[in-house]
Structure 1
Amino acid sequence: MQHGVKNFEVVAPRSRFYQGGFGRMFPDLKPWKPELAAETATALEQHMLDFANAKMTAADNEDTDSTLPAGYTYFGQFVDHDITLDVTPLSDAEVDPNRLHNFRTPRLDLDNVYGLGPDAQPYLYENVAGRIKLRVGSIGNRFRDLARLSRAEGESQTALIGDHRNDENAVVAQVQLAFIMAHNSLADAAFDLGLQGMAGFQAARNTLKWLYQWVVWNDYIARICQAEVHETALRHHPDAVGEAAWEAGYKHVFDWRNTPYMPLEFSVAAYRFGHSLVRDRYQTNVLHGFGSFIPIFAPNGATLMGFRALEADRVVQWDWFLPMTSSSNPFPQMTRKFDPRLAQALTHLPEDPERPGDSAKILNVLAARNLVRGVRMELPAGTAVAKALNVAPISLSDTEPDALWYYVLREAELDGGNCLGKVGSIIVAATFAGLLKGDPLSYFNIEPGWTPAKDTLLKSLQKKLSAANKSALNADAHIVPRPVGQPDWTFAAIIRLAGLPVQADDFAQQ
């Protein structure tokens, strides 16, 4: 959960047609802020800290479970790191939202995996007998890890990856590892079809990027957004010459002149719903033991905190995190509900350098930090956004903030807590639909009728798996809980493509 420590300029003017990193969906709505006796930065922080500590935390239990498998918490975090990077520190007394810069391309293009490519960042890559692959590390002879720089024992072990944030906890690090190893599998498939060097690299990269886009839209967004909103946000239909084409259904919500920007209502509020899904602790694999949990954050002892090499007990057994053919009750573990109560671990983050883990310091309390950032970024009130979208606003008590982030979580809670509510769904689905339609290199534009089943490299790999009597890449697509639309490829396919450990047998001694 680490954030930037440098003060960079970022731009988000109040223009729907601004061409740049950040922008606004609702530029005409006035900013929301709480009514305080003293309008100072200190008073704002204390007000939000008091509310967060009193009302926005709860321990894990069965009542906090949603119907979304826990692996999607960290897939969502990975996706976030692919499309946004705001390094403006919260500790600044004032943040000018009109001077904000997104250090990520607002595209689903896996630049957090590939970085700047083999020529600009050769240390991320290796050429293996004509195959350009991404570097991978190992844990002994049994499991894989991110490639890391060697450090003295006890020091941070820097991962050689396209975005350092994807090593901030052990689960998102293994999502990053999945994409790295999936690329390497596709590079092998390309080589077997006669594509070597950069030709094979580009073929593997394109297939993985398009599979990722497919999974994001058809699996992930279908799970986290209301079905009606998901169906409306991108419509598939024949164009004038009979070819399949895609049309964005919320252009009035997320519009731009030439290329998409990153909406602050999305990045600072609605998409931060993911913080509510994080559990205090997880069961990781059979080696660590059934019923034995590891906390996501802890000041000492076993923890899933990142920036260090994996150990065997922190290796994810994926059928405990995703619905897969080998999953059995009580697995997969589920996310917490979509609601305003965050895990207790997120009130004791080790981020304030003076008093790490102190719940009286705002940097250590994620909910308070999010509320303050929304005010400083001049986001509109949640009820005002609902009215602008012609959605009936929910009722908030006099003590509840009308901050957009809080509103999205409260709305989701009132709708059952298993996905976003109407306002949150529209902001999130409209943004992803816009990013996909606005990317001239996405499959939605290059080859609108593309599906994983039609892809040359994926078909080649499926044929080999079938010949070896092994599970197909998309073997898990029918396992419940399934997203609306029931796609025949899900995030689990990327795990299988990567060859990461899925079930108990994968942890048996070799």
Structure 2
Amino acid sequence: MTHGSAATHEVTAPRSRFYQGPFGRLFDDLEPWRPVSATGVPITDGPALEAWCLNAANTLMIEKLQPDGTPTPPRDIDEDAMDAEFGSAIPAGYTYFGQFIDHDITFDPTSSLQRQNDPNRLFNFRTPRFDLDNLYGRGPDDQPYLYDTDLPSSRAKFLLDTIDGTSVHDLPRNSKGRALIGDPRNDENSIVSQLHVAFLAAHNALVDRAVADAHPEPFAAARTTLRWLYQWVVWRDFVKRIVDPVIHDVALQKETTADGRTTWTRGLDDVYDWRDRPFMPVEFAGAAYRFGHSMVRSKYKTNFHRGAADIHFVPIFDNTIGAPGDDLRGFRPVDILNAVEWDWFLRMTTSIGEFPQKAHRIDTKLTNALAFLHEGEVGAANNVLASRNLLRGIRLELPSGPDVARRLGLAPIPLGPEEPASLWYYILKEAETTADGNHLGTVGSIIVASVFAGLLAGDPQSWINVQPAWTPGADPLLRPGEDDVDSPGRWELASIIRVAGVPTSAGQFP
């Protein structure tokens, strides 16, 4: 769910059904979808295609328009009113957890949205596993600059900086303010960077616990516990929130054999399967998993430090003319005013009143901030995220949403005459019309759930393969009270925040 940049890291994949590499296709028998002109001719050339995508984005996919039909600047958005109109049942923190997950499972620095890729050069530099390699990199021996070098590698802990000399942490940064982390995309905005901080701090806390327990390899023990807790939260918390509950239950099933063993089986392996190792489907990476872009809000309340009398919203991005620069864009040190108070983003026992803030619904409208990205000229095709996503799907040669629905044996939902049949747009429309935007519809749920279940099952180091009966509550490095206090035994994203010990309420800010 990365927003991407003008130099987008994406790939195409060969259409041959005999090919299987780091990237592949779920529906290689379906024809690519392309928009057509008023005369019914497919639009194929660069400038005309970019113009078509930009027009579709600006006329169909902007939440709030001014009287002249142009997007309302994000700083002028009434976020309380937008919440009432577009708010979902999902806490806002999961928007950025989805982005964090995306950065963990896929990254290809060899490609660009601006050119067709050579299939012989395709390589996914991010392993398609939920293994936190965006956090750990290649480990303390190969990438020591990520770690505290005063400690031996067997007890390695991550470096952390502080914000303005307070007890609140930021990512470690060089003299230019750039983060020293396993994946620079996790510094794209203050919210995902603070989530990365929480994972770093959680690892450090688990190392301390392993040392106290006299574990012979504290670093390895902490890494395993954090990876498995993360995988648990990904499947049983995040995916459970965003897909149809029936499809979630079918996708990965826990069973007990006659001799008492615990096993896991996949129920959607006819949709996503592999021969040698899991691959990253372009229908997932280029369309289905980009549902999270519609969950982004234009503004957020960040923490109580901004003042009890007038806590105000901060734009996630504000690239409009005359913008004061007080937004949540990343690639710079985090200001204390923009540090995340987690009970405002996730449901926790200290969340009160309007909190946690809610993500916007999964629908065809993207928040205005995403029409004012900060990589280029305001209003340019590559600076409007919806336009960029439509163009990406076309250049990835993705099939249409209705064709995918029929391929899955489903009746397609209707689209209006002006609506694109793009797979990405179709999945958003399906969520909007069949699930009121509170989770994905059937096609989106099947693609997302099948891939997530397949990646977990295909990872020989995941908990479902190494210790199929493992639960967080039985892990020696995790503690009672770090699960859901209201529903004991339920471990959620908030559990990782609790392990980390990062600020979760107003009283923990200076």
Q: TM-score, normalised by structure 2?
A: 0.90
> 2:113 aligns to what?
90
The CA distance in 2 between the partners of 1:387 and 1:240, in whole Å, is: 38
1:129-278 aligned at under 5 Å gives the runs 131-139=155-163, 140-151=165-176, 157-195=177-215, 199-239=217-257, 241-278=259-296
Shift of 1:274: 0.5
1:56–1:367 Cα contact (<8 Å) kept: yes
CA change 1:4–1:133 in 2 (3 A) is farther
Q: Which whole-Å CA distance do the structure 1 matches of 2:19 and 2:119 have between them?
A: 13
Paired residues of 2:6 and 2:375 also in contact (CA < 8 A): no
Aligned AA (1:455): D
Equivalent residues of 2:151, 2:157 under 8 A apart: no
Deviation at 1:183, TM superposition (A): 0.2
Equivalent residues in 2 for 1:66-465, closer than 5 Å:
66-87=88-109, 88-92=111-115, 94-95=116-117, 100-127=122-149, 131-139=155-163, 140-151=165-176, 157-195=177-215, 199-239=217-257, 241-289=259-307, 291-299=311-319, 300-352=324-376, 355=377, 358-359=378-379, 361-415=380-434, 416-458=436-478, 461-462=479-480
Q: 1:503 maps to what in 2?
A: 505
CA drift at 1:412: 0.3
The answer on whether the counterparts of 1:17 and 1:256 sit within 8 Å (CA) in structure 2 is no
* C-alpha spacing 1:503/1:6, structure 2 compared with 1 (3 Å): closer
Distance 1:144 1:242, change over 3 A: same
Give how far 1:125 is off: 0.7
2:60 alignment counterpart: 55
Seen in structure 2, the aligned counterparts of structure 1 residues 286 and 392 have a Cα distance that, compared at 3 Å, is same
Post-superposition offset of 1:279: 0.4
Task: Please give the per-residue CA displacement for 1:431-481, whole angstroms capped at 9, x wherever unaligned.
Answer: 0000000001100111111000011111xx44xxxxxxxxx2114463xxx
CA distance in 1, matches of 2:371, 2:507: 37
**2:201 is aligned with what amino acid?**
M
Look up the SS of the partner of 2:205 in the other structure. helix
Mapped contact 1:13–1:98 kept (Cα < 8 A): no
1:6 to partner: Cα distance: 8.5
Counterpart-to-counterpart distance in 2, 1:7 and 1:142: 35
Query: In the TM superposition, what is the alpha-carbon distance from 1:389 to its structure 2 partner?
Result: 1.1
Aligned partner of 2:170: which letter? D
> What is the deviation of 1:100?
3.6
1:86 and 1:116 map into 2 onto residues whose CA distance is 17
> What secondary structure sits across from 2:89 in the alignment?
strand
Do structure 1's residue 65 and structure 2's residue 81 form an aligned pair? no
Judging changes above 3 Å, is the alpha-carbon distance between structure 1 residues 370 and 190 closer, same or farther for their aligned structure 2 residues?
same
Per the TM alignment, residue 311 of structure 1 is displaced from its structure 2 partner at its CA by: 1.3
Deviation at 1:39, TM superposition (A): 2.7
* Corresponding position of 1:467: none
Q: Is the 8 A contact 2:12 2:117 kept in 1?
A: no
Q: Deviations over 1:191-247 (max 9, x none)?
A: 001125xx1100000000000000000000000000000000001002364311100
CA distance in 2, matches of 1:258, 1:178: 34
Q: Distance in 2 between matches of 1:6 and 1:75?
A: 20
**Gaps in structure 1 of 5+ consecutive residues:** 152-156, 463-471, 479-485
Counterparts of 1:320 and 1:11 in 2: how far apart (Å)? 39
Does the CA-based 8 Å contact 1:233-1:429 persist in structure 2?
A: yes
Distance in 2 between residues matched to 1:184 and 1:421, nearest whole Å: 39
| Alpha carbons of structure 1 residues 455 and 164: separation in structure 2 relative to 1, 3 Å | same
| Alignment match, 1:41 | 46
SS in structure 2 opposite 1:279?
coil
Alpha-carbon separation, structure 2, partners of 1:16 and 1:446? 31
Deviations 1:368-388 (A, max 9, x none): 110011011000010011111
Q: Distance in 2 between matches of 1:206 and 1:248?
A: 23
Question: Compared with structure 1, are the counterparts of its residues 407 and 97 closer, same or farther at alpha carbon in structure 2 (3 Å cutoff)?
Answer: farther
1:425 alignment partner AA: S
Q: Which runs of 5+ in 2 are unaligned?
A: 65-78
Q: Is the 8 A contact 1:296 1:305 kept in 2?
A: yes
CA distance in 2, matches of 1:206, 1:58: 42
Could you tell me whether the CA contact under 8 Å between 2:294 and 2:364 is conserved in 1? yes
Deviation at 1:2, TM superposition (A): 4.0
- How much has 1:13 moved relative to structure 2? 2.3
Change (3 A) 1:6 1:380: closer
| Matched AA of 1:395 | P
Q: Could you tell me how far 1:142 is from its partner in structure 2?
A: 2.2
Counterpart-to-counterpart distance in 2, 1:81 and 1:127 = 26
SS in structure 2 at match of 1:67 = strand
One-letter amino acid of the structure 2 residue matched with residue 76 of structure 1: G
The secondary structure found in structure 1 opposite 2:328 is coil
**Distance in structure 1 (CA, Å) of the matches to 2:32 and 2:465:** 36
Note if contact 1:182-1:498 (Cα within 8 Å) is conserved in structure 2. Answer: yes
| Structure 1 residue 254: Cα displacement | 0.1
Deviation at 1:295, TM superposition (A): 0.4
Corresponding residue number in structure 2 for 1:482: none
Indicate how the Cα distance of structure 1 residues 487 and 66 shifts in structure 2: closer, same or farther if over 3 A, else same: farther
SS of 1:68 mapped into structure 2: strand
Percent of aligned pairs with the same residue?
A: 50
Looking at structure 2, the residues matched to 166 and 3 of structure 1 have their Cα atoms a distance apart, in angstroms, of: 13
Q: Structure 1 length normalisation: TM-score?
A: 0.90
- Structure 2 CA distance for aligned equivalents of residues 79 and 177 of structure 1: 14
Q: Any idea what the Cα deviations from partners look like across 1:72-105, whole Å, max 9, x if unmatched?
A: 000000000000113422223x345675432210
